[in-house]
Amino acid sequence: MSHPDFIKSYAGFLFDMDGTILNSIAAAERVWGRWALRQGLDLEAFLPTMHGKRGIDTISGLNLPGIDPVTEAEEILRGEIEDVEGVIAIDGAADFLASLPPNRWAIVTSAPIDLARARLATAGIPQPTIMVTAEDVSVGKPDPQGYLLGAERIGASASEMLVFEDVQAGVAAGEAAGADVMVITATHQHVLATQHPTLLDYRQIAVKTTADGRLTIVAR
């Protein structure tokens, strides 16, 4: 844990999903790896680039000849929904989320709604009251649209939010929204250079609700 701001209080918390509250790396890379091989891509170079972004944005960004990004993204989505083996919660995440007031937090994920629900169920994380998924935005992370919408659904400004993220695209989205950012490092294989506070997982923290309903992180 690196220098989290335990003093500031927030109107709400916004959580990325994959890599932040659950670990779906193995399942995602199995499905995307099979697709990438069919396209003749270099797996080692490609796989790190697809985390934290909408599937259609990843495919569109490759500019592959003769490929319809919408069709390919739909095929990959079906594969991801069918293959959730090994999807697990980040340590402490389920208990931490359960301790939060339901109307004061949201998941903001690049995953489509059906995939998000499948992965949350497999990881044993209850479905949130508020969720922003790929279908809700016209532009994915690092654009801030998702986090701005999540804050709006909670009923507060994004500047009053704490965003929990794990990859650079999501961190950039949180920054662009004007939120504070906490980086979760549980799934990191390499150090993510960041100016933001970091946490390995959620076993180190708890939440305190102030008299006016705001949320403050406290160390366990």
Catalytic residue positions? 16, 18
Side-chain-side CA neighbours of 45 within 13 Å: the count stands at: 5
* CA separation for the pair 32, 26 (Å, rounded): 10
- The CA–CA distances, whole Å, from 56 to 2, 30, 70, 96 equal 34, 17, 6, 31
DSSP character at residue 213: S
**Can you tell me which residue has the tokens 């790929």?**
134
Neighbouring residues of 99: CB distance < 8 A, sequence distance ≥ 6: 206, 207
Reference 107, options 9, 21, 180, 213; nearest CA is 21
